[in-house]
Amino acid sequence: MPNKLPVGILGATGIVGQRFIQLLEHHPWFEVAWLAASDRSEGRPYAEAARWRLKTAIPANVAKMSVVPAKPEGAPKIIFAALDAAIARELEPQFAAAGCAVVSNSSALRMQADVPLVIPEINPSDVRAEHRIFPVANCTAIILCMALAPIKLVAGLRSVRVATYQAASGAGRAGLEELQFGERAIVERTPEPQPTIFPASLARNVIPQVGSFDGEGYCDEENKVREETRKMLGIPELRVSVTTVRVPVRTAHSEAVWFKTERDTTVDELARAFNNAPGVVFHEHGIVTPREVEGTDLVHVARLRREDETSRRNFALWCVGDQLRKGAATNGVQILELLLQKGYVG
């Protein structure tokens, strides 16, 4: 492709917006050409406006770009949106109506019937030419589905139970800061700041709540993981039970998963499926931890085993993935690549 396609970023000053900029820095097909924010950073150079600095530097050409108001006028026809749900629900349809293809990191429209919820390695055929908004699914659900899809292919799925161990970055820049401030206070033996992002202090702690509780005792994240997993795997009747837990880890989510297959199978057959699955690294022996996979794009599966010594349908596994990468920005870039390959953009 002689000329790269211009991409705009809505919500460019946040942590996911910055991760998306980094992923596109050397992309062969796309380049960042437009930055917008719904905060008060309009008119400022991006290097000054960015509210959170990731470990790697902001690309020089992007650092000098001015942040513009979040309006469709003047925007390129390919948009990545990293907005809060309430703002996304208002702005993203405006960009779609203006002819933009919008890859959204918001939860606002994920479960809408006419909106595809896509992991390109799993359900690329769900995307059609008339679609204009393409949500990136819940980060925990993406990592879970990457581990479940190979199982579905070889043995089917009847039920899933999962306990998650979710990184602070799932709550955005403010969540990472609250963890860092709490850890610093403990080390320096100073008063620990009162938590405002998490329901309890996350430093040296675990919190079995991600989001608000509903009347049945499930929290928002648990409901999202259940419903989005069903939609992406194409199994609306799948029994899914989720307990979500926030842990003092930076950017990678971990999940302990128990599942029941539709047909008899073996650990060896499932292992072969994982070894053949795109985007998955299978660890036949040993473990993998969240710190090992920070900043990477693959989902790692380990500790595959039978639930008991006689079972042919009940198994367990451990999976890990970076929630800012495959759980957010990387999956968004892959959706853009899929749209280009199908001829729906460019």
Q: Indicate the average pLDDT of the chain.
A: 93
Q: What is the pLDDT of residues 242-280, one digit of tens each?
A: 999 999 999 999 999 999 999 999 999 999 999 999 999
Please give the Cα distance from 208 to 245 (Å, whole number): 4
Sign, Cα dihedral of 81, 85, 91, 94? positive
Return the structure tokens found at 185: 């206070």
With a cut of 70, which residues of the chain have pLDDT below it? 1-2, 39-40, 51-56
Known catalytic residue: 253?
yes
> Same domain for 275 and 229?
yes
Please give the Cα distance from 85 to 47 (Å, whole number): 25
> Same domain for 22 and 162?
no
Check residue 2 and give its pLDDT.
55
Check residue 60 and give its pLDDT.
82
> Same domain for 204 and 319?
yes
Choice among 100, 145, 253, 319 that is catalytic: 253
> Same domain for 75 and 160?
no
Known catalytic residue: 139?
yes
> Same domain for 13 and 40?
yes
Check residue 1 and give its pLDDT.
44
Check residue 51 and give its pLDDT.
59
What's the CATH number where 256 sits? 3.30.360.10
Check residue 120 and give its pLDDT.
97
> Same domain for 195 and 283?
yes
- The rounded Cα 197 to chain-centroid distance in angstroms is 19
Check residue 216 and give its pLDDT.
96
Choice among 139, 145, 219, 319 that is catalytic: 139
Number of domains in the chain: 2
Place of tokens 């953009």: 345
